[in-house]
């Protein structure tokens, strides 16, 4: 689907449609490191139609945007928007870049190809210590040049974290609708309590997602790769515990959530600290999804790391469809 609203209506559109489980999409590459368009389409259809994913976050850090050309990033936007329209789902396109002209070029393409929202990471600000005015102006400038609702993204990778006070200042902008707030829980809980209808607050931690539904009233997981890694067509426990929690059935939701602990541990215990994207892609391949190699500067898994991951996958209790298990 695609966002049909103007800047003034962005917050209302987001409250209605930026909801549920969103998945940060890894970008599959072929052996020659070109974009695997068929694999990407197949992954998206699988997530949307078989895993119960409500929306997809395209060309972010999980997607190795830093190794992609601007044209490749645009193409990934177009592919995701097409599959989302076909399946009645939603998209948020990461336009994050250190070059503001690139951010705006990507935002224009996101709008043109039918995206619902964009996300823009807080930039690295070299030598800048008093950042607030710079960031207020940065997001104002972007917002005035797109009609799409903008999700902020604050993460330690910027070299700083945006404070709740600053986030609320930026959220006075009618085009700013949400934040992916990769910060300690006390910070995002404070912002969530204070934001009201001005800003949808979420974070990438699936470990904290159930508590955030039950304790903070969240209805948006924005987002990382667990929706594609913890589930199969035969085992949709993340979707199941989310829906139970949304329905107020906390005890049942907790039991389903807890049952995924062996899967989380299998991923956590085999993921090398320096190779997160490579591990995610290999786990996806074990699930029958398109993964492929990583691009430099990321490093591939060694044979030993792949073997350890295979063994952990086999013993984690994740149910795979009969056909896939036979393969």
The domains of the chain are located at 7-230
Residues of the chain with pLDDT > 70, as a percent, come to 98
Q: What is the mean pLDDT of residues 144-169?
A: 98
pLDDT digits (tens, 9 = 90+) for 255-271: 999 999 999 999 999 99
| Mean confidence (pLDDT) of the chain | 97
pLDDT digits (tens, 9 = 90+) for 170-194: 999 999 999 999 999 999 999 999 9
Report the alpha-carbon distance of residue 280 to residue 272 in Å, rounded. Answer: 10
Contact 305, 285 (CB under 8 A): no
Residues of the chain with pLDDT > 90, as a percent, come to 97
Contacts of 72 (CB under 8 A, 6+ apart): 35
What integer pLDDT is reported at residue 196 of this predicted model? 97
pLDDT bin (cut points 50, 70, 90) of residue 322 is confident
96: left (phi over 0), alpha (psi -120 to 50) or beta: beta
pLDDT digits (tens, 9 = 90+) for 43-57: 999 999 999 999 999
The domain defined by 7-230 folds into TIM Barrel (3.20.20)
Query: 3-state DSSP helix/strand/coil percent for the chain, to nearest 5?
Result: 50, 15, 35
What integer pLDDT is reported at residue 108 of this predicted model? 98
What integer pLDDT is reported at residue 326 of this predicted model? 42
pLDDT digits (tens, 9 = 90+) for 103-137: 999 999 999 999 999 999 999 999 999 999 999 99
């Amino acid at each position: 689907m695609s966002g049909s609203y103007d800047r003034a209506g962005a917050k209302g559109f987001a409250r209605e449609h930026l909801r549920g489980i969103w998945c940060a999409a890894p970008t599959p590459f072929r052996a020659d490191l070109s974009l695997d368009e068929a694999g990407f389409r197949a992954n998206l259809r699988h997530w949307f139609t078989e895993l119960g994913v409500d929306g997809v976050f395209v060309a972010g850090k999980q997607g190795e945007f830093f190794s992609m050309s601007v044209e490749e990033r645009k193409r990934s936007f177009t592919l995701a928007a097409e599959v989302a329209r076909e399946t009645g789902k939603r998209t948020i396109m990461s336009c994050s870049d250190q070059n503001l002209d690139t951010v705006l070029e990507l935002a224009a393409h996101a709008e043109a190809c039918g995206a619902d929202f964009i996300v823009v990471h807080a930039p690295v600000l070299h030598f800048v210590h008093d950042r607030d005015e710079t960031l207020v102006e940065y997001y104002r400038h972007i917002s005035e040049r797109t009609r799409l609702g903008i999700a902020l993204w604050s993460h330690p990778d910027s070299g700083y974290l945006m404070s709740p006070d600053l986030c609320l200042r930026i959220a006075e902008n009618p085009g700013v609708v949400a934040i992916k707030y990769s910060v300690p829980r006390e910070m995002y809980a404070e912002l969530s309590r204070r934001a009201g209808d001005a800003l949808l607050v979420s974070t990438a931690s699936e470990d904290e997602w159930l508590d955030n539904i039950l304790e903070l009233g969240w209805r948006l997981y924005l987002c990382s790769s667990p929706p594609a890694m913890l589930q199969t067509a035969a085992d949709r426990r993340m979707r199941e515990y989310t829906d139970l929690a949304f329905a107020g059935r906390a005890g049942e939701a907790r039991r389903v959530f807890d049952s995924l602990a062996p899967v989380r541990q299998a991923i956590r215990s085999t993921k090398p600290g320096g190779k997160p994207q490579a591990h995610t892609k290999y786990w996806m391949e074990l699930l029958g999804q398109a993964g492929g190699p990583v691009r430099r500067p990321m490093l591939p898994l060694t044979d030993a790391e792949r073997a350890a991951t295979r063994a952990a996958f086999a013993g984690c209790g994740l149910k795979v469809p009969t056909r896939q298990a036979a393969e």
